[in-house]
Chain A
Amino acid sequence: KAGVTQTPRYLIKTRGQQVTLSCSPISGHRSVSWYQQTPGQGLQFLFEYFSETQRNKGNFPGRFSGRQFSNSRSEMNVSTLELGDSALYLCASSLALGSSGRYEQYFGPGTRLTVT
């Protein structure tokens, strides 16, 4: 079974631009979560989607948004990029939301975003 895929793997943008990252979950997984990882802050939760609906949200400004499509693929968008948005953005998929506790998440390789 193929794992979680993320595109692109690397991206360089300038301040003020916007960016869209894509995530394809493991086949059959319906929940997709997004995380931002930086050396200083560690791994921080952005949001989670299930059945095309955002079910959970972290403490990030409104410049960070996402969506999920009917095939469970997800995108996240960051508008008006700032230097501090430089990070590794990770996507994770899990089988379902609300299951018995066995909803371990499987992470993709991440998209390395550099804002200059």
Chain B
Amino acid sequence: DTGVSQDPRHKITKRGQNVTFRCDPISEHNRLYWYRQTLGQGPEFLTYFQNEAQLEKSRLLSDRFSAERPKGSFSTLEIQRTEQGDSAMYLCASSPEINRDGNTGELFFGEGSRLTVL
């Protein structure tokens, strides 16, 4: 399978603990995105990488959140001192500069990592 993979698929943690999610994008994609989705809402943009450079961060990404993509391949999203409001699905997506069909803008999503903070 050469799609976007995320790990773990589900994480249950206690408030105050740190959690880390990993995303492996499609190998030839240099763009990587993190989104968050809560119940009844669409995905909300968190941050974007082009290769290893983090080029944009949403104001939703508080100081407790940090994302890295050290070698321009996989990425990690860490949440420190988790709060109950952090409970959500964290989605990773990747895209090429321009995809092979000539269409632009399509993001390829992983299946997500669901976080439950007790």
Q: Do A and B bind each other?
A: no
